[in-house]
A and B are shown apart, each in its own frame.
Chain A
Amino acid sequence: MTDLVVEARGMGKTFGSGVEATEALRGIDLDIASGDFVSLIGPSGCGKSTLLRLIGDLVSPTVGSLTVNGKEPGRARLDRDYGIVFQSATLLDWRTVEKNVELPLEIMDFSPEERPARAREMLDLVQLGGFAEHYPWQLSGGMQQRVAIARALAFRPSLLLMDEPFGALDEMTRELMQQEVLRLWEETDTSVVFVTHSIPEAVFLSTRVVVMSPRPGRISREIAVDLPRRRDDDTRESARYFELITEVREALRKGEREGA
């Protein structure tokens, strides 16, 4: 049981109280094992982002239990067990690319000698080695998101949380970034929780797709992705890939009908 990165039992989240209460999540049971790449997919309002934010201790569950790396989420956050990437890159625009990647290292009291070395290493990993001295506004959206990923991984967390990180990117850049994230996942030994509303993205990236349905948000189905671990453009054209996409789509439709 120790290799469970995330373990949720009967977890629910309600925002507000009284007549204004909104039940965002109900009865969430979820296990994420070390090394998993789990996508949370569902229509808007299904609580997939909320679930991610619960794991990251950015909000707290109303009922049920949740552990991250076997600890309370708050403890895991203070222990810096996870790195997070938001939909917008959220780079500090007064810092150069390198200094942005160093931000977590500064807060975590890494030595001044170690910080630039670590940051350069991470920038090489996301193929932005030549852009260390640039400012965020000098980069394209895809490049900014790479910096955000480098920042999230700079302190080598065991868990990477990604909240629709490629939602604002065009299709071509998006596919490049997906390839990139898979490479990073293999090279860094990190478990990933990935929120998306794109079915092909979820199938292409994940070892497991968690399908969610709205009102109230709950898990309607979990689909294991049995594609070969090594994925590339051929994967996107394989028959099994399309079958899985169909399976996820049907699960989403079914969940939607039951919710309505």
Chain B
Amino acid sequence: MTERDEFIHETSATDVLAAFEGDLPGAPPRRSWRSLLVQYLPALVSFVAVILVWEGLTRLLGVESFLLPKPSEVMASFVDTAPVIWGAGQRTLVEALGGLGIGVTLAVLTSLAAARWVGFREGVLPLAIAANATPIVALAPIFNNWFSSTSPVSKMAVVAVVVYFPVMINTTRGLLEVDPAEIELMRSLAATPAEVTRRVRIPRALPFFFASLKVASALSLIAAIVAEYFGGPQDVLGQYIINRANLFQFPDAWAAILVASILGVALYLIVLGAERLLMPWHVSFRATQ
């Protein structure tokens, strides 16, 4: 709690009128770089420690490169093969983003329909929950067949199906889990169902939507790479990793994995940024303000 919050809470009892006399400061101050650094320092320290221990142990115990390459070898390959792995990363990213876009769009449309029509909700949601429990990646070979394994569309289809269910189920829940008092308030104002959706349900669903989007953004890269394992063009991350591993070039494979991991973190941070931009009011951000 900031000082200002404490001020407000303490004044709530007896000094309500006193609080009116002076205005309170507006938006909370932005955090400084220093406090950001302090907050993330523990994570940074443990990351460096893991790398150092990894490097030290592989050297000390003489672990063979094909079992576990040293971080220094991986970094060397990461630098040497940069154009190749980043090119592959770019093509995999296009598949992941394409699938994410298609899957999330369809999921949101389904959620809006499910929130609007009870019959649709009762008919479709149980099926969706059942489908969500199936390991959907198993569909990859079939999609390769349907959409031609050489086309990125077959990978996008796998990604779309994988991200669809978590986003759809969570967003629907958010749209439906609205405080009954808010619905009564809207009724007292003679608001139409469309108004209720626009002004109450959608804002209420945003936290649910973003929580699922964070999961989906990570899933999209996983799904794209797994779909690539089932065949298709060679210049993508999944195939590159398989090929380098088959040639016992494990530092190269690890360097490609590093690219995938950087892309995954970047995607997550973009979603996080969008979330803060679109719902600055949300309770989960208040603690850090």
Which residues of A are at the interface with B, using a C-beta cutoff of 8 A?
Answer: 56, 58, 77-78, 80, 82-84, 86, 88, 90, 92-95, 103-104, 106-108, 127-128, 130-131, 133-135, 137-143, 170, 172-173, 176
B3 at the interface (CB under 8 A from A): no
8 contacts across the A-B interface (CB closer than 8 A): A86-B185, A94-B279, A128-B20, A133-B26, A138-B4, A138-B24, A142-B12, A143-B12
Which 10 A/B pairs are nearest by Cβ-Cβ distance?
Answer: A140-B12, A130-B23, A94-B281, A84-B188, A90-B181, A94-B203, A78-B190, A107-B191, A104-B189, A107-B189
B11: A residues at CB distance < 8 A:
140
Q: Nearest chain-A residue to B11 (Cβ)?
A: A140
B276 at the interface (CB under 8 A from A): no
8 Å CB contact of B189 from A92, A93, A103: A103
B281: A residues at CB distance < 8 A:
93-95, 135, 137
B13 at the interface (CB under 8 A from A): yes
Query: Could you tell me if A58 and B188 are in contact, using CB atoms closer than 8 angstroms?
Result: yes
Query: Could you tell me if B181 and A86 are in contact, using CB atoms closer than 8 angstroms?
Result: yes
Q: How far is the CA of A138 from the CA of B16 in the complex (A)?
A: 13
Query: Could you tell me if A108 and B189 are in contact, using CB atoms closer than 8 angstroms?
Result: yes
Query: Could you tell me if A92 and B199 are in contact, using CB atoms closer than 8 angstroms?
Result: yes
Q: Nearest chain-B residue to A79 (Cβ)?
A: B190
Q: How far is the CA of A56 from the CA of B184 in the complex (A)?
A: 10
Query: Could you tell me if A58 and B8 are in contact, using CB atoms closer than 8 angstroms?
Result: no
B16: A residues at CB distance < 8 A:
140, 142-143, 173, 176
Query: Could you tell me if A90 and B179 are in contact, using CB atoms closer than 8 angstroms?
Result: yes
- Interface band, chain B: 35 or more
B182 at the interface (CB under 8 A from A): yes
With A86-B185, A170-B13 known as contacts, the answer to whether A80 contacts B199 (CB < 8 A) is no
Query: Could you tell me if B8 and A138 are in contact, using CB atoms closer than 8 angstroms?
Result: yes
Bitwise, B11-30 to A at CB < 8 A (1) or not (0) is 11110110110011010000
Q: Nearest chain-B residue to A93 (Cβ)?
A: B281
Which residues of B are at the interface with A, using a C-beta cutoff of 8 A?
Answer: 4-5, 8-9, 11-14, 16-17, 19-20, 23-24, 26, 179, 181-182, 184-191, 195, 199-200, 203, 279, 281-283, 286
> Beyond the given A58-B188, A138-B5, could you list 19 further A-B residue pairs with CB under 8 A, ordered by the A residue number?
A56-B188, A58-B184, A77-B188, A77-B190, A80-B190, A84-B188, A86-B184, A86-B185, A92-B200, A93-B281, A93-B283, A94-B279, A107-B186, A140-B8, A140-B12, A142-B16, A143-B12, A143-B19, A172-B13
Q: How far is the CA of A254 from the CA of B189 in the complex (A)?
A: 38
With A58-B188, A80-B190 known as contacts, the answer to whether A173 contacts B199 (CB < 8 A) is no
Query: Could you tell me if A92 and B203 are in contact, using CB atoms closer than 8 angstroms?
Result: yes
With A93-B281, A140-B11, A172-B14 known as contacts, the answer to whether A103 contacts B23 (CB < 8 A) is no
Q: How far is the CA of A71 from the CA of B282 in the complex (A)?
A: 42
B19: A residues at CB distance < 8 A:
140, 143
Q: Nearest chain-B residue to A176 (Cβ)?
A: B16
Q: Nearest chain-B residue to A173 (Cβ)?
A: B16
B185: A residues at CB distance < 8 A:
84, 86, 90
B8, B11, B200: residue with the most chain A Cβ atoms closer than 10 Å? B8
B20: A residues at CB distance < 8 A:
127-128, 130
Q: How far is the CA of A145 from the CA of B200 in the complex (A)?
A: 19
B9, B12, B195, B199: residue with the most chain A Cβ atoms closer than 10 Å? B12
B200: A residues at CB distance < 8 A:
92
With A90-B179, A92-B200, A176-B16 known as contacts, the answer to whether A82 contacts B8 (CB < 8 A) is no
